[in-house]
Amino acid sequence: MAPDMLAAPVLSSERAWFASLMCGAGWPLEGSDDAERLRAYCAVLPLETLLPLTEQASRQGHRAATVAAYRTWIVANPSGPQLFAAWFNLGVELAQTRDHAAAAQAYSRALVLQPKLDQAAVNLGLALEAQGQPDAALAVWDQALQSTAMRVALLNHRGRLLDERKRFTEAEAALRASLLLDPAQPDVVQHWGHARQKGCIWPLYSGEIPGLTAEEFALQIGPLGALALTDDVALQRRSVAGWLARKVAPALHRLSPERGYRHDRIRLGYLSSDFCAHAMSFLIVETLERHDRTAFEVFGYCSSPEDGSAIRARVVAALDHHVPIGHLDDTTAAHRIRADEIDILIDLNGLTKGARMHTLRHKPAPVQATYLGYIGPLPLPELDYIICDHWVIPPDQAGHYAPKPLPLSGLYQANDSRMPELPVLSRTSEGLPKGRFVFCCFSHHYKITESMFKTWCAILRAAEDSVLWIVEDTEDSKANLLARAASLGVEPGRFIFAPRVGPAHYMARFALADLFLDTSPYNAGTVASDALRMGLPILTLSGRAFASRMAGALLHAVGLDDCVTTTHSDYATRASEIANIPALAAQLRQRLAGDAWRRSIGDSASFTARLEAAYRAIRLVP
């Protein structure tokens, strides 16, 4: 019987049979009688009738049946008016199975049939990106025909992908075009503003987006961008609070008991995605090793990559319990932490990449603190403390912070006292001039503000026989820095860009410079500690916020209080003095000689004892 002659009772019977196939009864083999029967049914099955069946099958985990159903419908309807929609839906299902190549083919077929299907262009680009073809993805998005709403989406995807490829000038242009179409996009403002920071595209904001005020820009620039934008703690807190409200929904139930547990040893849980070759691990590893096991039991909740590094192996060995949670969703991870009855959970990510804020919102431990990862206000209700010291969060600023500051009795920063084996370097091998004063800064370029760079150029003009050695971050930021320097009367030859290298090579470089010029309002942290360890003096500019006071805390700890300034004018004057008076530079070097770092910043045993005292003070016992 021809498909168009099927009687109603037969259709009803076929529908029930088809529904059973979609629910996992087993798809007919190609060439079988049932396969022919299926095609005949699909030829008279409207796509709108197929859709609820495929949606239900996908929800129940029968995605293979859903893919097969769409493929069968497409074969049975080679010229139907809804064919483009079937190809699009097939692409969506294939993308969910991570068959990105087949998904891309399906989206392409949909676009051939319906060039104005905006979402197919978006999804095709994403499928190409997932296959490692970013340039092809960008080309698709560039060529797509789109409505205003879809143009916004395409520009946002384009900007995101260009940003990931460190093409910041192009990224910010795409994101700016999106904001000109629709300025009410806080997430796009964040990515646009931070792309400008990373590319050193200045001024950072001067009203380019109609309808977006300077205050709104500051509030929407995102947690990391806010630290490099301002040292106004209250403004940082408002910015982060807005981001959390958009991104991190509260959990339905608290998991841990409010009054804590009774354990013979305090159970510490360290939560991190950076237990690998990351700056955080280099700082914390010896503290993990030194914890007093008669009083503490140490758990590491780890969503870090298995990078095979020596530092990762050392961190894992330092834990009493290494608990991988990278494969767990936030709710499951929270329940795992609760099952271990952790007394104090220490979040080492904050709002950096890999953060598990949703895990913390379940309150899996009765006491939760954040440390090292994000050094700014983090007003998440389930966090109880931010670990700090009295310098980085002074009493007059403590009230602006959330969670509550937990100041240690000395320096806040953990450190590893072990010195790695370093290569032998020379100024010649690193492309540095002999006999000239070498300023350096190895911080990321997004920390370099327009005002700080202007001050650096003033220092170079005042210290004529000097150069500035900075890390080679991106081509965009390098070009923009050199162009700005030229406009300020400093020739490009005064800047030397250092390529990225491994940890030991990076550390050895510090010994070749004469003075580290710190950034502000976002100071160097780990980098500053490394410089001082290698005997390199630092000049910093301290403000009001934690991020702007990190280097100052280190300098006070090591006894270089006279290298802490509070204004751009004093910073420039002090730098020029040090560069122009050889005896002054030599004196600073001498004060860092010998075991000065090891006795202060690098005294890991003393630090661990002070940290453990703080843990004892905040533990809850029923």
Identity at 403, one-letter amino acid code: P
Structure tokens at 33: 């009688």
Any domain includes 165: no
326 and 466 inside one domain: no
488 and 576 inside one domain: yes
Binning pLDDT at 50, 70 and 90, where does residue 158 land?
very high
- Give me the half-sphere count of Cα atoms (radius 13 Å) on the Cβ side of residue 165: 18
Domain count, the chain: 3
Query: For the domain that residue 550 is a member of, what is the CATH number?
Result: 3.40.50.2000
Decide: helix, strand or coil at residue 466.
Answer: strand
278 and 139 inside one domain: no
443 and 586 inside one domain: yes
φ, ψ at 352 (rounded to 5°): -85, 175
User: Domain limits at 479?
Assistant: 437-602
DSSP state for residue 202 in the 8-state scheme: S
**77 or 313: which leads in pLDDT:** 313
- For the stretch 531-561, pLDDT in tens is 999 999 999 999 999 999 999 999 999 999 9
- For the stretch 161-190, pLDDT in tens is 999 999 999 999 999 999 999 999 999 999
Query: Which pLDDT score, from 0 to 100, does residue 112 have?
Result: 82
Identity at 257, one-letter amino acid code: P
- Cβ-count burial of 523 within 10 angstroms (0-12 exposed, 13-18 middle, 19+ buried)? buried
With a cut of 80, say whether residue 50 has pLDDT above it.
Answer: no
CA distance 106 to 150: 20
- For the stretch 116-128, pLDDT in tens is 788 888 899 999 9
Query: Which pLDDT score, from 0 to 100, does residue 2 have?
Result: 34
**43 or 71: which leads in pLDDT:** 71
Q: Average pLDDT over the chain, rounded to whole?
A: 91
Query: Which residue, 446, 475, 470, is CA-closest to 169?
Result: 475
Structure tokens at 593: 């000689």
φ, ψ at 340 (rounded to 5°): -85, -5
Last residue of a domain, one of 364, 387, 408: 408
With a cut of 80, say whether residue 26 has pLDDT above it.
Answer: no
Strand partners, 469: 440, 496
Sole residue written with tokens 């006795």: 599
Any domain includes 234: no
Decide: helix, strand or coil at residue 469.
Answer: strand
Sole residue written with tokens 């751009």: 568
Query: Which pLDDT score, from 0 to 100, does residue 358 have?
Result: 95
- For the stretch 397-440, pLDDT in tens is 999 999 999 999 999 999 999 888 899 999 999 999 999 999 99
Query: Which pLDDT score, from 0 to 100, does residue 43 have?
Result: 76
Query: Which pLDDT score, from 0 to 100, does residue 220 have?
Result: 96
Any domain includes 618: no
With a cut of 70, say whether residue 28 has pLDDT above it.
Answer: no
With a cut of 70, say whether residue 32 has pLDDT above it.
Answer: no
CA distance 549 to 218: 20
Q: What is the pTM of this model?
A: 0.79
465 and 555 inside one domain: yes
DSSP state for residue 135 in the 8-state scheme: H
* Mean pLDDT, residues 193-218 taken together: 94
Structural element, H or E, at residue 322? strand 321-324
Any domain includes 198: no
Distances (CA, A) of 361 to 185, 333, 365, 382: 25, 11, 10, 6
Any domain includes 298: yes
Query: Which residue, 92, 86, 160, is CA-closest to 129?
Result: 160
Query: Which pLDDT score, from 0 to 100, does residue 7 have?
Result: 36
**91 or 58: which leads in pLDDT:** 91
Angle at 422 between CA 420 and CA 425, to 5 degrees: 160
Distances (CA, A) of 396 to 26, 175, 240, 390, 400: 69, 38, 20, 10, 9
CA distance 11 to 17: 10
Query: For the domain that residue 396 is a member of, what is the CATH number?
Result: 3.40.50.11380
Query: Which pLDDT score, from 0 to 100, does residue 243 have?
Result: 95
- For the stretch 267-318, pLDDT in tens is 999 999 999 999 999 999 999 999 999 999 999 999 998 899 999 999 999 9
Identity at 430, one-letter amino acid code: E
With a cut of 50, say whether residue 133 has pLDDT above it.
Answer: yes
Any domain includes 612: no
9 and 65 inside one domain: yes
Task: Give Dmax (Cα) for the chain.
Answer: 103
Lowest mean pLDDT among 97-101, 330-334, 342-346, 495-499: 97-101
Strand partners, 471: 498
Query: Which pLDDT score, from 0 to 100, does residue 56 have?
Result: 77
Structure tokens at 186: 């806080």
With a cut of 80, say whether residue 1 has pLDDT above it.
Answer: no
Secondary structure tally for the chain: helices H, strands E: 28, 13
Decide: helix, strand or coil at residue 387.
Answer: strand
Q: Which residues contact 212 (CB under 8 A, 6 or more apart)?
A: 179, 183, 189
Last residue of a domain, one of 157, 172, 191: 157
With a cut of 70, say whether residue 33 has pLDDT above it.
Answer: no
Query: Which pLDDT score, from 0 to 100, does residue 34 have?
Result: 64
CA distance 457 to 453: 6
Q: Which residues contact 267 (CB under 8 A, 6 or more apart)?
A: 261, 296, 297, 299, 340, 341, 342, 343, 344
CB-based contact 520:541 (threshold 8 Å): yes
Identity at 9, one-letter amino acid code: P
- Cβ-count burial of 449 within 10 angstroms (0-12 exposed, 13-18 middle, 19+ buried)? buried
Binning pLDDT at 50, 70 and 90, where does residue 86 land?
confident
Structure tokens at 245: 């409200």
401 and 461 inside one domain: no
Residues 185, 190, 191, 193, Cα dihedral to 10°: 120
Torsion-angle region of 243 (φ positive above 0: left; ψ -120 to 50: alpha; else: beta)? alpha
Binning pLDDT at 50, 70 and 90, where does residue 35 land?
low
* Mean pLDDT, residues 343-364 taken together: 95
- For the stretch 377-407, pLDDT in tens is 999 999 999 999 999 999 999 999 999 999 9
598 and 449 inside one domain: yes
With a cut of 80, say whether residue 22 has pLDDT above it.
Answer: no
With a cut of 80, say whether residue 80 has pLDDT above it.
Answer: no
449 and 594 inside one domain: yes
Residues 197, 202, 208, 209, Cα dihedral to 10°: 10
Decide: helix, strand or coil at residue 268.
Answer: strand
- For the stretch 3-14, pLDDT in tens is 333 333 334 566
Query: Which pLDDT score, from 0 to 100, does residue 146 have?
Result: 65
Binning pLDDT at 50, 70 and 90, where does residue 25 land?
low
592 and 449 inside one domain: yes
**110 or 18: which leads in pLDDT:** 110
Distances (CA, A) of 249 to 55, 106, 295, 382, 464: 26, 35, 35, 12, 55
Query: Which pLDDT score, from 0 to 100, does residue 171 have?
Result: 96
* Mean pLDDT, residues 10-21 taken together: 61
300 and 353 inside one domain: yes
**158 or 119: which leads in pLDDT:** 158
Any domain includes 170: no
Identity at 347, one-letter amino acid code: D
Sole residue written with tokens 């994403």: 126
Decide: helix, strand or coil at residue 234.
Answer: helix
Sole residue written with tokens 């946002």: 156
443 and 385 inside one domain: no
Any domain includes 196: no
Decide: helix, strand or coil at residue 523.
Answer: coil
Query: Which pLDDT score, from 0 to 100, does residue 148 have?
Result: 73
- For the stretch 360-375, pLDDT in tens is 999 999 999 999 999 9
DSSP state for residue 24 in the 8-state scheme: I
CB-based contact 415:529 (threshold 8 Å): yes
Angle between helices 63-76 and 47-59 (to 10 degrees): 160
Binning pLDDT at 50, 70 and 90, where does residue 510 land?
very high
Query: Which pLDDT score, from 0 to 100, does residue 149 have?
Result: 77
Binning pLDDT at 50, 70 and 90, where does residue 323 land?
very high
Query: For the domain that residue 100 is a member of, what is the CATH number?
Result: 1.25.40.10
